[in-house]
Structure 1
Amino acid sequence: MADEDILGNVTSPLSASALNGVNDFVSGFLSYERKAANVLVAADVDPEALLANIYAGFSWMFLEAAGAEAQARIYLDRARKVQSRANAREGLLIEQLSHWVAGDIGRVQAIGETIVDAFPRDLASVKLHQYFSFNRGDAPAMLSIAEKARAASPDNPHLLGMLAFAHEQLHALDTAEVEARKALAIKSKEPWAQHALAHVMLATGRVQEGVQFLDEAQRGWGDLNSFMYTHNWWHKALFHISLGDEAAVLDAYDNHVWGIEPDYSQDQVGAVSLLARMEVAGIDVGDRWVSVVDKLVSRASDTLQPFLTIQYLYGLARAERAEANQLMLAVEDKALTAEGLDRTVWQQVALPACRGVLAHARRDYANAVRWLSVANPRMQEIGGSHAQRDLFGQLLLDAHFKLGNWTIARQMLEMRRTWDPDGMPVNRMLRQVNLELEKQPLKAAGRSA
């Protein structure tokens, strides 16, 4: 009888320990649990375990850092040596890893589509395809790939979580909530469904409900990897910002958002984003930028993903580090040398966004307005979620506010109140804006007198 993974996908022959490593990767990847990393040990113990080595290569590529390709190539080369044993699905996975290491994400995605069409129970491939689509801001593709797998796994909570988040990114909030609650009815601790539901609650102004929901959910986060653990706490902190609960925001940051895996890209940008949002909301963050920026210095030439780079840059500039200039030069070079779709994104979106956040961090609010006004309408193209990209809207609002552009600031604040009607920072800023606007006729009358 052929070996199968935990989802029923046939594998080439594997030892018991290698199969356990593969299953830990598949289940851990889908559930954002630390056990996914066990596949690295399994692959090192058995260099001829084909699928374990493929997934070990994937694991290195998820690091999103310079040097990951070299490490992933070690496992790719091992898989190549025993490729004659590969079944059809594994052969496609080898090619997918090869193109990922080479940086050809378009080809990675095309292969992923082929895999899911032929092997719809391969939910790890569905998840991987969503990962790349998310990084490119392609929510329709996120939904399409998950729908392809629905018939084969209609009651899988991880797939339902993927469907929920795809719908949320498409602004289909009611459908997103239905799918998320289906997932949670099957597996109450499914973290991606919890995450999708937190997005829905944030987008619909259900702030107190969001706090209560995540208060309960966080009891089951003990096995999560650093990304999912810190990111769901990041969402909880956003609710606390809206409520004006500074102590809870700082507690979330200090104990749950920053410091879990401080060398990891997603943990770093989560910290940068939350510190920036706290400052826009009027919260004194003290010296908290220091420990983050100490880790960002190594990102001074990192242009792997524009969504990450922009936030690295903001952190470096906000802490007044000279490396911000180095990273800005790297962005300008990337805008000139990138190819195809990447070149369009870097030239027309990432470059002006970087100029805008750099200006804001340096308190050059006029240039922050200038460049963020160019970039923000197209920010979806750099990836990230609506909630994550809202950082750039907040920085633009803050720049207008600091410049005294009261009419524009009022329009932006009123727009924000459509999804955060009771938010304390929003309403506090709006009160000040309205007071300033009320003064203008009085000032004009004084001048005419």
Structure 2
Amino acid sequence: MLNDAYGNPVTTNSADTIKVIDAFVDSYIGFGTDFSGIFGAADRDPDCAIAAAYATLLGLFVETPARVELSTKYANQAKAALGNATERERIFTAAVLCLRELDVAGALAHFRTLASDHPGDLFAIKLGQNTYFNLGDDDGLLWLINQVFDRHKDCAYAYGMRAFGHEQKSNFGQAEADGRLATEMKRKEPWAHHAVAHVLLTQGRHDEGIKWMDDLSNEWDDRNSFMFTHNWWHQALFFLEQEDFQTPLKLYDEKIWGVDKTYSLDQVNAISLLWRLEQLGVDVGDRWTDLSSFVAARTLINDQPFFDMHYVYALARGGHADALEALMAGAEKLGRDAPGLTRAVWSDVAVPSMRGYISLAQGDHKGAVRQMAAAQPRLQEIGGSHAQRDMFQLAWVTSLVEAGKFDRALPILEARLAFRQGVAMDTHLLENARARAT
């Protein structure tokens, strides 16, 4: 038995297996690219349950039909190897198997056990944080890292993970302190860069945010496509909210769209930026044509409400009727058949919002308001960050204005400006609504 980089015993005598596991874990937590070797390591070391569990997980991350075959192969291998596994390996494998079966509640129970009983497993905490994040559960996201933080006080990644948890809980001072310290400890810690960017955007400190991200941007080039495009997306938001619209369009063309056009999160970043720009009256040219064609070609849809609520607008804007029909049919089915923890999110939040976004894309603002209304108070449940979900609030409030519902739009816009005084975007949205209301 050997130990991984975090001191966790692994049921293997192969130094090669440990090397590959360490690279896989570091790539996941640090948003690197050294993942695929885990398949070969699991093949060469079939008695190592956790290597097979990692391979199962990577299979689930594949966004093609091959994910079924890959995840099934390594899930069976992991189960067969459990007899000799450690308790930590058995619990982690059980969590991955729950994720594979869409038993999110079961997976979270296992992650909580790992946090309490096996605090050295920082990978499990990161995976658990992502699971809570997808549910919009900020309490769970922060709780997990707090349980193990003392074990990892010398690890920059732990500070970055805690920074984001605090930011989502609106503990901005602690979030910024953790994110900045993480970056001092390890300059190539893009999740920490991202957490501080969240704080600076939320507090309306746009010039600071632009400088922070610009100074660190040379650390993102070798990170995976999501982290690269997402941090540039954050940079674009600083400019957009200052109403410099040309810079976000330039960043879209050069940094945000085009790294991996087939990948869900790259598509979400791109959709989110174009949609925001359009809501602010910016002509985005023919950019929807290319973007929507890649969304229409997806073989993996209805994976998460948050994703589908982006895809639907792109497909509607791009005129992909067949893909749009398939997306909606799948979402509606999940509203009836999804496991208990997520069914209501699909039926009560995602599906009515998606119908509203189709109406919005078609210029029917009154229809959009009518369909979106009931879902608005529950948008947190779809997951994503506060900054990401702000796009949906913009869709709501701009639809209210266009539909002439000024009595509902003005209080929202006034509250936005009271929270972040002096932000050009919010100032002009409010001025426009007031002018149209008179």
Fold in common (TM above 0.5): yes
| 3-state SS, counterpart of residue 34 of structure 1 | coil
Shift in Å at residue 44 of structure 1?
Answer: 4.1
Is 1:75 aligned to 2:74, yes or no? Answer: yes
What's 1:411 paired with? 411
Partner of 1:138: 137
* Residue 12 (structure 1) shift: 0.9
In the alignment, the residues of structure 2 paired with residue 370 and residue 4 of structure 1 have an alpha-carbon distance, to the nearest angstrom, of 57
Partner of residue 57, structure 1 = 56
> How far is the alpha carbon of 1:434 from its aligned partner?
3.2
| Partner residue in 1 for 2:178 | 179
Distance 1:419 1:320, change over 3 A: farther
In structure 1, how many angstroms separate the alpha carbons of the residues matched to 2:18 and 2:100? Answer: 24
One-letter amino acid matched to 2:411:
Q
2:14 and 2:420 map into 1 onto residues whose CA distance is: 53
Please give the alpha-carbon distance, in whole angstroms, between the structure 2 residues aligned to 1:180 and 1:433: 37
Pairwise CA distance, 1:371 = 2.2
Farther off after superposition, 56-65 or 259-268: 56-65
Amino acid across the alignment from 2:421: P
CA distance in 1, matches of 2:249, 2:37: 33
CA shift in 2, pair 1:358/1:14, >3 Å: farther
Write the letter of the residue equivalent to 1:337. Answer: D
Cα gap change, 1:65/1:357 in structure 2, threshold over 3 Å: closer, same or farther?
farther
Residues 31-86 of structure 1 deviation map (CA, whole Å, 9 limit, x = unaligned): 11112343234334544443322212112223466652432121122223333331
For 1:230, the equivalent position in structure 2 comes to 229
| Structure 1 range deviating more: 14-23 or 65-74 | 65-74
Q: Is the 8 A contact 2:293 2:318 kept in 1?
A: no
* Structure 1 residues 316 and 360: CA distance shift in structure 2, 3 A: same
Instruction: In structure 1, give the amino acid aligned to 2:369.
Output: V
1:361, 1:338 → 2: CA distance?
27
- Give the aligned partner of residue 421 of structure 2: 421
The residue number in structure 1 matching 2:352 is 352
Mapping 1:327-346, distance limit 5 Å: 327-346=327-346
Runs of 4+ in 1 over 6 A off after TM superposition: none
Partner in structure 2 of residue 312 of structure 1: 311
- Do residues 211 (structure 1) and 201 (structure 2) align? no
Q: Equivalent residues in 2 for 1:46-445 (5 A)? A: 46-63=45-62, 67-299=66-298, 302-322=301-321, 323-437=323-437, 440=438
Residues 116 and 435 of structure 1: CA distance in aligned 2, closer, same or farther (over 3 Å): closer
Counterpart residue type for residue 428 of structure 1: H
- TM-score, L = length of structure 2: 0.94
Alpha carbons 2:64, 2:300 under 8 Å: kept: no
Cα distance change, pair 280–194 in 1 and its aligned pair in 2 (3 A): same
One-letter amino acid matched to 1:280:
Q
Structure 2 unaligned blocks of 5 or more: none
- CA-CA distance at 1:259 after TM superposition: 1.4
1:423 partner letter: V
**Greater shift after overlay, 97-106 or 36-45?**
36-45
What is the RMSD of the two structures over their aligned residues, measured on CA atoms? 1.9
Query: Aligned partners of 2:170, 2:65: CA distance in 1, in Å?
Result: 34
Q: Once the two structures are superposed, what CA deviation does each residue of 1:213-236 show, in whole Å capped at 9, x if it has no partner?
A: 000111111221111111111111
Give the Å deviation of 1:338. Answer: 2.3
- What secondary structure sits across from 2:35 in the alignment? helix
Deviation digits for residues 1-47 of structure 1 (CA, Å, limit 9, x no counterpart): x4111111111114222211100011111111112343234334544
Once the 2 structures are TM-superposed, how far is the Cα of residue 167 of structure 1 from its aligned partner? 1.1
TM-superposed CA distance for 1:318, in Å, is 1.5
Using the TM superposition, name which of 127-136 and 111-120 deviates more. 111-120
Does structure 2 retain, via aligned residues, the 8 Å contact 1:202–1:419?
no
C-alpha distance in structure 2 between counterparts of 1:36 and 1:301, whole Å? 20
- Greater CA drift, 381-390 or 39-48: 39-48
Shift of 1:244: 2.0
In structure 1, stretches of 5+ residues that fail to align are: 441-449
The Cα shift of 1:400 comes to 1.9
TM-score scaled to structure 1, two decimals? 0.92
Q: Mark the CA change 1:5 to 1:280 in structure 2 (over 3 Å): closer, same or farther.
A: same
Deviation at 1:332, TM superposition (A): 2.0
1:289 match: secondary structure: helix
One-letter amino acid of the structure 1 residue matched with residue 159 of structure 2:
L
